[in-house]
Structure 1
Amino acid sequence: MKAIGVIPARYGSTRFPGKPLALIHNKPMIQHVYEQVSKSKELDLVVVATDHELIKAAVESFGGKAVLTSADHETGSDRIAEVASKIEGDFYVNIQGDEPLIKAELIDSLVQAAKESPESVVTAKTEIHSEEDIDNPNVVKVVTNQSGSALYFSRSAIPFNRAKKEHTYYKHLGIYLYPKEILKEFVNLPQSSLEEVEMLEQLRLLENGFDIKVVETNYEVVGVDTPEDIQKVEEILGGLKQYV
C-alpha cells in the first residue's frame, strides 16, 4: 500500500500573506515542514500542494517535490484530492503546512492504523491539560467509542460534565489520512448540516456514515498563525523553550 504525504501550502492568508515562505532560522517554513515530514518511515512520497509559483519554486530549490494546484480550492482536502488525481497512491495524508515541528512518528502512527483499517479515515487526538482549552471554541474536541472511532467532533466541551466527575478531554489534531476512494467521494459531497453549524469539515464524513479512526498521541501542536508565532518556534528550535 502506497502512502503519499501531502502538505497543502496556500500563499494567500488574511493574517499572514506568504506564510509558507516566512523564514524560521533562515529557512522558509515550508522547508522545515517538508524536512520533518520526510523523516517518516511509512510515507512513500512527500509532496507540497500549492497555489503559487513562488512556493513551488522554493520547494524545488531545496530538492523537494511540489505540485501546482488550483487557486480556487476552499479546503486543504480539495487540494489533496487534486494531487490524488495526478499522483498514484492508496492513502493520502493531509499534513498542515504551518506546523514546522510536526513529528514523523505521528504520521507513521496514522499510516500504520490505516493499514490495519484500510476502509477508514484516520486522524489524531491528544489529551487536553488546560481547563481554558476545554471551553475554548478554537480548540476542537473529539470523543471516540471503545473501538477508537470518532463519535463526534465539536468546538464545545464534549461530553458535558454534568456529574462533575474527573474526566479526560481530548483535542482533535488537524491531520488526516484518507484512503483514495474515500477522498474522492468526500470532496464531492455537499456540505452537511452539522459541518455548516460547527464549521468543521470532518463532520461531513461522520454525517455520511464514514468511519474515522482516531489515534492518540502526546504531540502538542505548535502552529504558525501570525508573524509573532515565528519567534516562538525559533525559541523552541533554539532550545530556549521546551517542546513535547
Structure 2
Amino acid sequence: MVVRVAQRAGESSAARVVVAGDDPSIVAACKAHGVEAILTRQDHPSGTDRLAEACEQLGLDGDDIVVNVQGDEPLIDPALIDAVASTLATHAEAAMSTAAHEIDSIGDFMNPNVVKAVLDTQGNAMYFSRAPIPWWRDGSANGAPPAVLPTPAPLRHIGIYGYRAGFVRKFPSLPPAPVEATEALEQLRALWHGHRIAVHVSHVAPGPGIDTPEDLARVRAVFAAAPPA
C-alpha cells in the first residue's frame, strides 16, 4: 500500500518523493519498486517526529517545502499534493499548510471523527475541532442538530500537511498544548504557539483513506476495477 501511495505522489509536481519507514521491510519493498526510501527510528511518538528525522537525514534547507502524505492514502489526488505545497509557497507568513473540503451532510457535521476547520479572511486556520463548528445558533433548537447546514458550508479538514523544513524540525520541541490533548489534534499545537496554518479549500472530495478492513476492501475493489498504469 505504501508503494501505491508513493506512486500517486510521484504523479504530482514534487521534485522528490521519499518514503520514511520505521521497518526495514517497508524500505525494501519501496526500493524493489524503484521508490526512494529511508529508515527512521521506531520510537517516534508521531508522524511529525518521523518527518523531522527524515528532513535531517535528507539534509533539507530550512525553506524547503515538504508535504507529508500518510501511508494509508493510496487514492490521494496528486493535484491535492501540489495545491498544499503551492498554498504554503504563497503564504509567506505561514509555517504549515493543509487542506479542507466543504461538508455536505448533517451527519458529517455532527460526527466527531470528521474534523472541522474554521478559516480567516486570508485563508489561514483559526481553529480545528471535532465539535460541529461553526455552530449555527439560529438554525438549532435547544442544542439539537440543525435541520440544514449553515451558509457558507462548514469545512472538513483533510489530513495532509505541508511544512517548511525548518519548522518541521522545530515542531517536536514545542510543548504540547492543552487544547491539543483535549481534541486529540496535533495541528492545534502550531496554532497554540502562534504559528499560522494556511488552508487550501478543495472542491474535489478526497479519496478514501484506509482505517478499517472494510476501507481496505473498498480500495482493493477500486484498483481491481481500474488497475493503475
TM over 0.5: yes
1 CA distance for matches of 2:17 and 2:205?
Answer: 20
Please state how far the C-alpha of 1:88 moved relative to its aligned partner.
3.0
1 CA distance for matches of 2:104 and 2:222?
Answer: 20
- Once structures 1 and 2 are overlaid, which stretch shifts more, 151-160 or 106-115? 106-115
Q: 5+ unaligned residues in a row in structure 1: which ranges?
A: 1-28
Please state how far the C-alpha of 1:186 moved relative to its aligned partner.
1.3
Query: What is the aligned partner in structure 1 of residue 167 from structure 2?
Result: 182
TM-score normalised over the length of structure 1: 0.83
2 CA distance for matches of 1:181 and 1:93?
Answer: 13
Paired residue for 2:50, among 48, 73, 79? 79
2 CA distance for matches of 1:102 and 1:206?
Answer: 26
Query: What is the aligned partner in structure 2 of residue 68 from structure 1?
Result: 39
Q: 5+ unaligned residues in a row in structure 2: which ranges?
A: 140-148
- Secondary structure of the equivalent of 1:142? strand
Query: What is the aligned partner in structure 2 of residue 25 from structure 1?
Result: none
Pairing 1:50–2:21 present: yes
Paired residue for 1:144, among 110, 115, 119? 119
Query: What is the aligned partner in structure 2 of residue 223 from structure 1?
Result: 209
1 CA distance for matches of 2:160 and 2:154?
Answer: 18
Paired residue for 2:177, among 169, 192, 195? 192
- Once structures 1 and 2 are overlaid, which stretch shifts more, 161-170 or 134-143? 161-170
- Secondary structure of the equivalent of 1:92? strand
Cα deviation digits, residues 29-83 of structure 1 (max 9, x gap): 1111011000011x11111111101111100110111111111111111100000
Pairing 1:134–2:109 present: yes
Please state how far the C-alpha of 1:231 moved relative to its aligned partner.
1.6
Please state how far the C-alpha of 1:130 moved relative to its aligned partner.
2.0
- Secondary structure of the equivalent of 1:84? helix
Pairing 1:105–2:68 present: no
Please state how far the C-alpha of 1:144 moved relative to its aligned partner.
0.2
Residues paired across the two proteins, number = 211
Query: What is the aligned partner in structure 1 of residue 136 from structure 2?
Result: 161
Q: What letter matches 1:57 in structure 2?
A: A
1 CA distance for matches of 2:207 and 2:179?
Answer: 25
| Structure 1: 4+ residue segments shifted above 2 A | 234-240
1 CA distance for matches of 2:93 and 2:162?
Answer: 11
2 CA distance for matches of 1:64 and 1:206?
Answer: 34
TM-score normalised over the length of structure 2: 0.88
Q: What letter matches 1:74 in structure 2?
A: P
2 CA distance for matches of 1:188 and 1:31?
Answer: 30
Please state how far the C-alpha of 1:170 moved relative to its aligned partner.
0.9
Pairing 1:34–2:9 present: no
Please state how far the C-alpha of 1:87 moved relative to its aligned partner.
0.9
Paired residue for 1:208, among 193, 200, 205? 193
- Secondary structure of the equivalent of 2:215? helix
- For the aligned residues, what is the CA RMSD? 1.4
Q: What letter matches 1:67 in structure 2?
A: I
**Structure with higher strand content:** 1
